[in-house]
């Protein structure tokens, strides 16, 4: 069975910068204990989430596609290489949280229930305004308008 993550972005005001050559989606495995080369994630949106490594466990700089599935939901399709890397990463961290950031800004931190093998992610926002801010940046990562 193909898996698809659908989670809510924590309801907060968030501004995203326009995507450029350094824009990326980063995935960080969240740890309960401090890491030598890491930091604590403790923000208003993600209070006392846990520790993440300084370098992400997976970075994605280009999406195959980014589309609006519903008024407040975006569907991201990964390139095959990134889809395989995400499947391997999520297989290693079943039962743990995975923090997804866009250009360094936290988007979501779901608990991984099973490996994500479909190569697709759904991101839901609190409202349409947030989706209107988020979708153009995601589409630029997919080189779409």
Q: CATH code at 132?
A: 3.30.1360.200
Specify if 85 maps to a domain: yes
Identify whether 106 is part of a domain.
yes
pLDDT at 76 over 80: yes
Q: Flag whether 120 is in a domain.
A: yes
> Mean of the pLDDT values across residues 89-97?
97
Number of domains in the chain: 1
Percent of the chain clearing pLDDT 90 (strictly above): 77
> Is 65 within a domain?
yes
CB 79, CB 64: distance < 8 Å: yes
pLDDT value for 21: 54
Structural domain including 71 reads 5-12+22-141
Cβ pair 24, 60 in contact under 8 A: yes
pLDDT at 22: 67
Specify if 17 maps to a domain: no
Statement: residue 3 has pLDDT above 60: no
In a domain, 66, yes or no: yes
pLDDT at position 52 is 98
């Amino acid at each position: 069975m193909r898996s698809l993550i659908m989670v809510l972005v924590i309801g907060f005001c968030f501004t995203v910068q326009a995507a450029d050559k350094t824009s990326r989606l980063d995935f960080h495995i969240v740890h309960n204990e401090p890491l030598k080369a890491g930091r604590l994630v403790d923000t208003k949106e993600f209070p006392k989430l846990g520790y993440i490594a300084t370098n992400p466990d997976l970075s994605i700089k280009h999406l195959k596609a980014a589309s609006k599935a519903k008024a407040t939901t975006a569907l991201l399709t990964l390139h095959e290489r990134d889809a395989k890397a995400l499947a391997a990463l999520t297989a290693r961290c079943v039962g743990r949280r995975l923090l997804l950031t866009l250009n360094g800004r936290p988007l979501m931190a779901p608990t991984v229930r099973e490996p994500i093998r479909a190569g697709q992610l759904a991101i839901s926002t609190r409202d349409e305004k947030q989706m209107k801010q988020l979708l153009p940046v995601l589409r630029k990562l997919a080189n779409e308008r």
